[in-house]
Amino acid sequence: MKEFLTAPIFNPSEAKLMWERYLGDNRKNPPLYAAPGRHSDLSGLPPAYVLTADFDPLRDEGIDYALRMLAAGNAVELHHVPGTFHSFDSIVPTAGISQRVYKDYVAALLRSISDFGYQVKSQ
């Protein structure tokens, strides 16, 4: 977070505020399901899809989480998008990179659903 003090859209002070609002009174000891990356033991967690953006105060936290998930034996997909910023896909949804990321989201979701035996009919 120290590197992106003036990141577009979402900066470190906003990230800190986000965590405070999200975790509330549980900031110092959040439940595993609410903030698994803040726990030392990540074993046994469900599969994860982690997307990081280049100019995002949460980039290193996301990468670290994905690597720790892998080290703990969990299934995880880490997607890093160079040259982008936090929420780029929401801010510029029609950009080519945003469209590619949306397709990746859907593909990951469909893989996850099929792992549980569900079949999705294409339209």
The residue extents of the domains of the chain are 12-115
Burial of residue 52 (number of CB atoms within 10 Å: 0-12, 13-18, 19+): buried
Each residue's pLDDT tens digit, 19-42: 788 888 877 777 777 788 888 999
| Band of pLDDT at residue 113, cut at 50, 70 and 90 | confident
Q: DSSP E strands: which ranges in 1-123?
A: 48-55, 76-85
pLDDT of residue 62: 94
